Amino acid sequence: MGVSVLSGKRILLGVTGGVAAYKAAVLARLLIRLGAQLTVVMTASAQRFVTPASFQALTGNRVHVDMWDERIADGMGHIELSRVSDFILVAPATTDFIARLAQGRADDLLAALCVARACPLWIAPAMNRQMWLHPATVRNVETITADGVRLLGPDAGVQACGEVGFGRMLEPEHIVAALEALLLPGGASPESSSSSEGLGYRLAGLDVLITAGPTFEPIDTVRGLTNRSSGKMGYAIAAAAQTAGARVTLVSGPTALSTPAGVTRLDVTTACEMFDAVMARAGAADVFIGVAAVADYRVAKVAAHKLKKTGVPPVLELVENPDILATVAALPDAPFCVGFAAETEDLHANAQAKRRRKQVPLLAANLAQEAFGRDDNALTLFDDAGEHVIARASKPAVARALLAHVAHLIGR
Ligand code: C5P
């Protein structure tokens, strides 16, 4: 195992008062094992869940709990502690702490350190799902994201209160993995390579409708016309949009993928079914992203039984399928529409022509042979301002970069 990018990093770990505070002890241990130097600051309520003694034992350093600590010689602890850190990580970050961050309050040591800092601030939210969904929390998260605070999570799952939903703190090992990704040189590069900042929570409250996967057009009861689309790109976009605060509906052709957490999925088979499912929901959508590889044609007459081999090759009559994207884009109150173009050659010319033909503000183009079925992708985005390249990266990273660009274009 190589040396972690966290080795030697001076981390100020803030712990606030949520049930997940006990997981901060595991997190501290993982970070120390990777060679990080940890200073822990606890809020008063955090100390109701875990004691400073635990963190002191784990880190070997004195835990800071008080703004008025007389042991700090010049009384300027809040400035000093944040200035000597490479970054501040608050895990767990409660609803109240996020609200205090949003207001720029400095009413305890940790909040003051966050305001006084000259280093990045990353937080791992942890709260009940209703608290996470509360409009005030949504506003506060938007505010702190705009202020440059970066969110790690939250995750979805069973909560301490027994409810199921978003708000769980990311598991300590996932927080560590996210930190390592952020600290790698160019760690956030797929996001910054589009003309926008990171995605954060910039789609909060929006309805996003996405199509993904192939369609399957039956010839008879067992055979059909389909294509090699795996659905991975569309599913990655659905997951990323959900994490960025959107309500996501995914209309999916046949794929082997599992539904991303928190996403509503509707399964369809044919292009016509996909058209109906999309048109029933397009009116309520703020953003529509057509990632599906929709069959252009279907078989005119589907045989009611499996076709027999007769010795005479059958001739299939095809009829054109409706163009879902172009139809949505032409709606009087159309959502912001994003099209995909999977080309096998002449990417630029074909993509630009497709953007004009379908009348969409943004078209994301890739080479089919370099995208279908793979776990990574590279996109060229075409919009009114020109072209933007999203460099090759994992599909989840490309999805975030694409959505950051969408957020930028819709003024988020
Ligand atoms: O024309 P082409 O199939 O290459 O266009 C691709 C884009 O149009 C994709 O965004 C795809 O989801 C969408 N599309 C559609 N309905 C069709 C064909 C394509 O929505 N019938």
| Predicted confidence (pLDDT) per residue in 250-293, tens digit | 999 999 999 988 889 999 999 999 999 999 999 999 999 999 99
Distance CA 282, CA 265 (A): 15
Q: Whose CA is nearest to atom 5 of ligand 1?
A: 341
Q: Ligand 1 within 6 A of 292 CB? A: yes
Where residue 1 falls among pLDDT bands split at 50, 70, 90?
low
Instruction: Look at residue 186 in the predicted model and tell me its pLDDT.
Output: 46
Distance CA 283, CA 297 (A): 26
* Pocket residue to mutate for ligand 1, from 321, 323, 360, most atoms within 8 A of Cβ: 323
Kindly give the distance from the C-alpha atom of residue 227 to the centroid of ligand 1, in angstroms, as a whole number. Answer: 13
Q: Selecting from 3.30.70.260, 1.10.10.10, 3.40.50.1950, 3.40.50.300, what CATH number does the domain 10-183 have?
A: 3.40.50.1950
Question: pTM of the entire structure?
Answer: 0.61
- Please compute Rg for the chain using Cα positions: 25
Task: Select the more confidently predicted residue: 169 or 197.
Answer: 169
Q: In this structure, which amino acid lies at residue 277?
A: A
Tell me which residues are annotated as active site: 161
Average pLDDT of every residue of the chain? 89
Please state the domain extents for the chain. Answer: 10-183, 207-301+313-409
Task: Select the more confidently predicted residue: 373 or 379.
Answer: 379
Query: What's the mean pLDDT in 37-52?
Result: 97
Handedness of CA 48, 54, 59, 62 (dihedral sign): positive
| Predicted confidence (pLDDT) per residue in 219-243, tens digit | 999 999 999 999 999 999 999 998 8
- Strand ordering across the sheet containing 376-383: 264-267, 247-252, 207-212, 287-290, 336-343, 362-367, 376-383, 386-394
Distance CA 43, CA 21 (A): 11
| Predicted confidence (pLDDT) per residue in 112-162, tens digit | 999 999 899 999 999 998 898 888 998 898 888 878 888 887 776 677 777
* Pocket residue to mutate for ligand 1, from 325, 343, 372, 406, most atoms within 8 A of Cβ: 325
Kindly give the distance from the C-alpha atom of residue 240 to the centroid of ligand 1, in angstroms, as a whole number. Answer: 21
Kindly give the distance from the C-alpha atom of residue 250 to the centroid of ligand 1, in angstroms, as a whole number. Answer: 16
Q: Ligand 1 within 6 A of 144 CB? A: no
Per-residue burial over 281-313, b = 16 or more CB atoms within 10 Å of its CB, e = otherwise: bbeebebbbbbbbbbeebbeeeeeeeeeeeeee
Kindly give the distance from the C-alpha atom of residue 213 to the centroid of ligand 1, in angstroms, as a whole number. Answer: 12
Q: Which atom of ligand 1 is nearest to the CA of 296?
A: 21
* Pocket residue to mutate for ligand 1, from 298, 324, 357, most atoms within 8 A of Cβ: 324
Q: Ligand 1 within 6 A of 108 CB? A: no
E strand spans, 274-361: 287-290, 297-299, 318-320, 336-343
Instruction: Look at residue 191 in the predicted model and tell me its pLDDT.
Output: 38
Instruction: Look at residue 193 in the predicted model and tell me its pLDDT.
Output: 36
| Predicted confidence (pLDDT) per residue in 310-322, tens digit | 999 999 999 999 9
Where residue 197 falls among pLDDT bands split at 50, 70, 90?
low
Kindly give the distance from the C-alpha atom of residue 125 to the centroid of ligand 1, in angstroms, as a whole number. Answer: 38
DSSP string, 246-291: -EEEEEE-S-SPPPPTT-EEEE--SHHHHHHHHHHHHTT-SEEEE-
Fold of domain 207-301+313-409: Rossmann fold (3.40.50)
Whether 324 contacts 290, CB under 8 Å: yes
Do 10-183 and 207-301+313-409 share a fold?
Answer: yes
